[in-house]
Chain A
Amino acid sequence: MDNQLKVNCQKERLRDVRVFVEKHLKKHGVPEVEVGKMVLAVDEVCANLMIHSHKCDPQKHIGIKINVKHGKEVVFDISDYGVGFNFCHYKEPSIDDIIKQKKKGGVGLILVKRIMDHMEFIRKHNRNVYRLVKRLQAA
Chain B
Amino acid sequence: MHISSVLEEDHYIITINGDVDASSSIHLDEAMNEAIHGGHSKILIDCSALNYISSAGLGVFMSYLEELKAKNIHMVLFGLNEKVENVFKVLGLDQLLNIQPSKDQAKQEFHG
Q: Is the CB of A111 within 8 A of B62?
A: no
Interface stretch (choices B39-47, B48-56, B71-79): B48-56
Interface residues on A, range: 20 to 34
- Count of B residues near A, CB < 8 Å? 28
B55 touches A111 (CB 8 A): yes
Are A99 and B86 also in contact (CB < 8 A) when A14-B22, A108-B55 are? no
Which of A32, A98, A103, A108 meets B54, CB within 8 Å?
A108
At the interface, yes or no: B108 with Cβ under 8 Å from chain A?
no
The B interface, classified by DSSP as helix, strand, loop or mixed, is helix
Q: A36-B86, A108-B54, A111-B87 are in contact. Are A103 and B59 (CB under 8 A)?
A: yes
Q: Which A residues lie within 8 Å of B29 (CB)?
A: 104
Most-contacted residue by chain A among B19, B59, B96 (CB, 10 A): B59
Contact yes or no, A110 B56, CB < 8 A: no
> Which one of B52, B58, B64, B86 contacts A18 once the chains associate, using CB atoms below 8 Å?
B52
> Judging by beta carbons under 8 Å apart, are B56 and A105 in contact?
yes
Interface: B7 (CB within 8 A): no
- Across-interface contacts of A115 in B (CB, < 8 A): 90
User: Does A83 interact with chain B (Cβ within 8 Å)?
Assistant: no
B86 lies within 8 A of A95 (CB) = no
CB within 8 Å for A14 and B55 given contacts A104-B62, A115-B90: no
Interface on B for A, CB 8 Å cutoff? 19, 21-23, 25, 29, 52, 54-56, 58-60, 62-67, 82-83, 86-87, 90-93, 96
